[in-house]
Amino acid sequence: LCCSPARISPAMPQDRRALRAALTAQRRKVLIGLDFDCTLTVKHFYKAVAWGFGGGNPGHPHYAEMAEELSKLELPKTAGEYLEDLVACLDCLITSKPDGEAAFRELFRNFFLGGDERIKLITEWMKAETGKGNVFAVVTAGQASAVTYVLQLAVPEWIPYLPSGRVWDSQQSRHAVGAVILHKLMILRDICPDAKVVVLVDDALAKEDVSPQWLGATGAVCYNGLKYEDCGLTAEHCEKVSELVAAA
């Protein structure tokens, strides 16, 4: 049998390397790297629970506010002993009474995340950006295992966008840099080395500058519109981050 030669469209260049490179560039995603405390959350989860509840340090204002909520939910205000590990603090809260898991879920969703309306807003934003081919990750200065723990327990609607493999903390860094914010940038690039751009969203950027050299080294841009230890992402912030992503 005779096979006829393949026909090439006149509009298709015979050397397709440039075309393939252009299509690959179009498919390259943006990694949106989120801090956890006072970025995804509206209160500082680590300082309130690890420092205040577990460490017996009542000095942070978010712990004082949390203590009032704990009383309303009939949960203990302190661990009763020094607990260094954040997950151990969470277990202490959850096992403190028969319906402790439900009570903690209510505390986390309402007090730390700002309620169902804000949770829905963040969910829809992550869904929209994921639909454009972009991905999300969390890098916290707190404890990654605790973040994964509370997302699974209290915010399962966020798991498709923030799976455990993309939840890290700055203690896991292989990079010998001094500033936590630089650890976060380097970790984000490690999480998604083929990302077109890394966009870091972190309330700490309100008080820490990142040099152009480090931004260039990590292929990153920063959104510094959040106030330090304030109420985290709002609809306006999400819109501005999306604009930054679209321009990347």
Over residues 35-48, the pLDDT tens digits come to 999 999 999 999 99
pLDDT at 188 over 80: yes
Q: What is the pLDDT of residue 15?
A: 74
- Burial class for 167, CB neighbours closer than 10 Å (0-12, 13-18, 19+): buried
Which neighbouring-strand residues pair with 139? 168
Task: Give the confidence band of 233 by pLDDT, cuts at 50, 70, 90.
Answer: very high
Q: Is 200 helix (H, G, I), strand (E, B) or coil?
A: strand
pLDDT value of residue 244: 95
Neighbours of 2 (CB within 10 A): 3
In 96-183, where do the E strands start and end?
Answer: 135-140, 167-169
* pLDDT above 80 for 79: yes
pLDDT at 231: 97
Higher pLDDT, 84 or 67: 67
Mean pLDDT across 97-123: 98
Copy the structure tokens of residue 91: 């277990």
Tell me the CB-side half-sphere exposure of residue 184, using CA atoms within 13 A.
30
Q: How far apart are CA 163 and CA 103, in angstroms?
A: 24
d(CA 177, CA 213): 14
pLDDT band with cut points at 50, 70 and 90 for residue 24: low
For range 142-147, the mean pLDDT: 96
pLDDT over threshold 60, residue 122: yes
d(CA 96, CA 70): 11
- Global pTM reads 0.87
Determine the average pLDDT of the residues in 80-91: 94
Is the pLDDT at 25 greater than 60, yes or no? no
Given a cut of 50, whether residue 1 has pLDDT beyond it is: no
In single-letter form, the type of residue at position 142 comes to G
Any residues with CB less than 8 A from the CB of 32 and at least 6 apart, and which? 129, 134, 135, 136, 137, 199, 201, 241, 245
Percent with pLDDT over 90 in the chain: 81
Average pLDDT over residues 86-114: 97
Q: What does pLDDT average to over the chain?
A: 91
Query: Radius of gyration (Cα) for the chain, nearest Å?
Result: 22
Tell the residue number behind the tokens 């966008």, with chain if given. Answer: 161
Q: Rounded to the nearest 10 degrees, what angle do helices 235-247 and 116-131 cross at? A: 10
